[in-house]
Amino acid sequence: FGNVMGTPIINQPQVAIMAAGAIQKKPAVVETPEGDMIAVRHKMFLSHSYDHRAVDGALGGMFVKRVAEYLEAWDLNREI
């Protein structure tokens, strides 16, 4: 649908849900050996909701960080 960001709502009996926004080109600071510079980067919002009775904030944060790392390292040329 092209949504940039949203708040996913848990459907019972699920305990967590994740949403990914549309990928857009945005200006961002990039660190280089010559110093910081502004460059155009592809950016996406990744959000999640979870039932705090089953998942605490630390575990939820570690999970979304791992998903983000996996997506950032995605190789389109890898074999499936």
Catalytic residues: 52
Given a contact cutoff of 8 angstroms between Cβ atoms, the answer to whether 49 and 9 are in contact is yes
Given a contact cutoff of 8 angstroms between Cβ atoms, the answer to whether 28 and 41 are in contact is yes
